Homo-oligomer: A and B are copies of this chain.
Amino acid sequence: MFSGLLEELIQNLRRLPGIGKKSAQRLALHIIGMDKEEALKLSASIADAVKNFKNCSICNMLSEQDPCGFCSDETRQNNLLCVVENTQDVYLIENTNEYKGKYFVLNGLLSPLEGIGPDDIYFPKLLAYLKDNSVDELILALNPSAEGETTMSFLATQLKPFVKKITRLSTGLPFGGDLEYTSSITLGNALKRRYSIKDN
Residues of A in contact with B (beta carbons under 8 Å apart): 1-6, 8-9, 12-13, 15-18, 23, 25-34, 36, 38-53, 62-65, 69, 86-88, 91, 94-95
Contacts and interface: CB of A to CB of B under 8 A. Distances in A.
A34 B38 CA distance: 23
When all copies of this chain in the complex are counted, the total is 2
Contacts of A9: 45-46, 48-49
A191 to B, nearest CB: 32
Contact of A16 (B31, B47, B64): B31
A29 B64 contact: no
Nearest to A2: B91
Contacts of A28: 49
The majority secondary structure among interface residues of chain A is: helix
Given A18-B23, A29-B62, A31-B46, 13 more contacts: A8-B45, A8-B49, A15-B38, A15-B42, A16-B27, A16-B30, A25-B88, A29-B88, A32-B53, A34-B50, A40-B47, A40-B50, A43-B46
